[in-house]
Structure 1
């Protein structure tokens, strides 16, 4: 029996559970948010690929981790754009650099993607310059092209600071709603699942697209400002517009200041009681991102034991994992499926 045949399917969303999401593609092996990264994630078995979405000056929905472009593209070395460097406050942070909202889509298409964390992923740097900047529609087309009846591929699109964009004349919520309709991706079982840290934007999209609109996940950070979201009242509120939460994994696998794991929370069971899926982020294979007991050696860039971290989360009942290395999460999931298949059933 193939592993996927033993996985439950959520009737409300059509998502297999637990699902594996290629976070920005497979950026453990290719520069993030590139065609090469997304294609590899699918080749490695990811059932969803996750683009982050920002807005260009002319209203195009562009795929980048953040609106500041210098860490993930070659814009800083392009003399024709030297005059675009600026400083502005995004959210509550002052940032200096080159911002997507100052470029048209045509200008963004001239940029080339580079590895965002070269100190931790030096093997990705030979791919610098090979790939361009994609739009959300192009990622959706890629997923559809790679989908089959036996193995559908969907897109988990994260909307980056939509309220901030709207306040600066770029109505991301309206643009996303219109684009999903144009793409025929505005239904619960459509190609696109939406997520954002911005609860107000998700509520607006739910009101705009209706209860028969796309599946949505409420992202939850591990900062104090998001604590209210994971209370029983906060989870009930999220269930009025979203089908699930996507919390930082640190809210489930608890760590101390020295990155030693100290226990597990009850968030998964609490969210399930509220009728919500739980899809935590982001599992990464390098030692730098793992709890201390799963690191292997002293090199922050060396691979540790991410498979055990994934195994722990699956054992706690999460409905999916968002990861930079989909094949490792899939190995952990296969262990879960195999164990279930071997467990005798009682009548």
Structure 2
């Protein structure tokens, strides 16, 4: 059992005075949560596009979250869904290629698609970026990346390939590893693989594991990143009592919070980060440091 697990168990079973206080008091003296732009500033620009990165930068948001999948010819592209229907015009450009799965199209074919018109005419012609293009745009703005490996079961070896792409773009140097990069997934096996391949990379597990299993997750994940509707101040405090693989307390980045009231609520729980489509709304709802 990790060194902090005894305290976690005590907290879970007995509670503490802090957990019995109203959320605003429980957070007294705590650091302001990090605000992360979900798929870029996706309330204001088409998700996972360079325009959404630019909008996050315009709003003054340093951290950007994205989703990575793989094309038929092995290119890593930034897209949330495992098919292209919702956010591109693939049905018009390739009408005979249903069900329009990402893995069934080459990178050149995907580069032909309009990934902006669905969101609004101002973004007509926006493209699905490659991971390299996305990282280049983040670097231009001196931003930070919370990268989600999406659907790893569909793409064997995507963890190693993603790490290689990050290395090729200079994102595995000391500066990025220290404060500018986190790799996460809903798959614990995928997160574990990333940790085993490159132990210096900070990792996060997307989900809400039972507290009885947190010690296992703490072996390979630096963060537990749950849906905001699944957590409480007790759960957050218990997670944070465990030390992760780099000897620091586990963090909690919660998602997807898009309104001021919920932002203040989860900040009161003591979360370390808030993932949001509307990063300006969340940032402005939080108390100043």
TM > 0.5 fold call: yes
- In structure 1, the residue matched to 2:274 is 321
Partner of residue 63, structure 1: 78
* Bigger proportion of residues as strand: 1
| Aligned mates of 1:7, 1:197 — CA distance in 2 | 28
8 Å Cα contact 1:52-1:65 kept in structure 2: yes
Q: How does 1:74-89 map to 2 (within 5 A)?
A: 74-78=89-93, 81-85=94-98
TM-score (norm 1): 0.69
Query: Does the 8 Å contact 2:204/2:222 carry over to 1?
Result: yes
Counterparts of 2:96 and 2:53, CA distance in 1: 32
Match of 2:122 in 1: 127
Give the distance between the partners of 1:317 and 1:77, measured in 2 at CA. 47
**1:89 aligns to what?**
none
- Aligned partner of 2:159 among 173, 192, 195: 173
Aligned residues: 252
Give 1:240's match in structure 2, choosing from 219, 224, 227: 219
Displacement, 1:128? Answer: 4.6
**Of 96, 110, 113, which aligns to 1:111?**
113
For residues 1-347 of structure 1, the aligned pairs below 5 Å read 18-78=33-93, 81-85=94-98, 97-114=99-116, 124-147=119-142, 153-166=143-156, 171-186=157-172, 188-189=177-178, 191-210=180-199, 212=200, 214-220=201-207, 229=209, 231-252=210-231, 264=232, 266-274=234-242, 275-284=249-258, 306-333=259-286, 335-337=287-289
Q: Which has the higher contact order (CA 8 A, sep 6+)?
A: 2
- 1:308 to 1:25, Cα distance in 2 relative to 1, 3 A: same
Q: 1:265 to 1:316 in 2, by over 3 A?
A: closer
Conserved in 1, the CA contact under 8 Å of 2:30 and 2:270? no
Which residue matches 1:90? none
